[in-house]
């Protein structure tokens, strides 16, 4: 047995211990084993393998199958016709679905004032009022500099055009 171990030892490369890379706080990169996630490198570089057929594509394939050769109707045609029949029969969910999908949902208008916008930006009322006052002053100054030909100065609001 000793002979066997000496052959293996003689033929193998000398083992050099590599110092593990560490972070400034002394932790080893890649976790405890050093084989884990490394900083700046994705743990999944190629991403998830794409599915052969998506569920949406599967629904489209089944829906486009012709079920009535005489009329050429597909499963989708039958489903839509059934939906219209249900709506005509008084089912409000069917009516709502037809209107929402066919003509779009009704938009709910929302009106925001300058104060609402300032509050959403994290300003208090005093800051918003001061900003508004500065903008009004800058706009008035700019309007006062209208050239004789009727064009505005070249500067942006609040900037001097000279």
- Is 136 in the same domain as 119? yes
Q: Total domain count for the chain?
A: 2
Q: Is residue 12 part of a domain?
A: no
Specify if 42 maps to a domain: no
pLDDT in tens, 116-147: 888 888 888 888 888 888 888 988 888 877 75
What are 41-55's pLDDT values in tens digits?
777 778 888 777 788
Q: Please indicate, yes or no, if residue 86 is contained in any of the structural domains.
A: yes
Is 117 inside a domain boundary?
yes
Task: Return all residues near 134 (Cβ < 8 A) that are at least 6 apart.
Answer: 158
Q: Is residue 15 part of a domain?
A: no
Which of these three, 103, 120, 136, is where a domain ends? Answer: 103
Task: Express each pLDDT in 72-92 by its tens digit.
Answer: 999 999 999 999 999 999 999
Residue 139 lies in a domain: yes
- Give the residue numbers spanning the domain of 99: 55-103
């Amino acid at each position: 047995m000793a002979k066997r171990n000496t052959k293996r030892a003689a033929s193998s490369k000398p083992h050099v211990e590599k110092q593990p890379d560490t972070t400034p706080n002394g932790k080893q990169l890649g976790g405890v084993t050093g084989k884990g996630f490394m900083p700046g490198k994705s743990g999944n570089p190629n991403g998830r393998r794409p599915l052969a057929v998506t569920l949406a594509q599967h629904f489209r394939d089944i829906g486009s199958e012709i079920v009535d050769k005489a009329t050429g109707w597909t499963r989708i045609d039958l489903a839509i016709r059934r939906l219209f029949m249900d709506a005509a029969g008084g089912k409000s969910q069917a009516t709502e679905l037809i209107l929402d999908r066919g003509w779009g949902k009704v938009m709910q208008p929302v009106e925001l004032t300058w104060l609402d916008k300032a509050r959403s930006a994290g300003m208090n009322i005093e800051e918003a009022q001061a900003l508004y006052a500065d903008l009004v002053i800058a706009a008035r100054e700019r309007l006062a500099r209208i050239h004789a030909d009727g064009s505005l100065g070249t500067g942006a609001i609040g900037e001097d055009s000279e």
